[in-house]
Amino acid sequence: MSGRVVGSRAQNDTQGMDRLHGEKDDVFHYVINNEYFEVDQPAYETLVSREIYRLYYAPRSKLLLSIEPGA
């Protein structure tokens, strides 16, 4: 998939005892063509947002395999 990629950050409720204390987990995504791909924080911080990239992913699981600058 190719196109402009935007970074997205959200907070999800935690599980177990942390949930009782109101703690949240940060979740990071690359968004391209209305598709969301979960990434870790260093990958999120590395992205130059709104640039054109080519993403390679597993279609069923939406697991991001690779990303490269594209034209």
The enclosing domain of 52 has a CATH number of: 2.40.50
Distance CA 46, CA 68 (A): 12
DSSP, residue by residue, 36-51: EEEE-HHHHHH--TTE
Range of the domain at 18: 2-69
Please report, rounded to a whole number, the percentage of residues in the chain having pLDDT higher than 70. Answer: 82
- Write out pLDDT tens, residues 50-67: 899 999 999 999 899 999
- Write out pLDDT tens, residues 18-33: 556 666 788 999 999 9
pTM for the whole structure: 0.77
- Domain total of the chain: 1
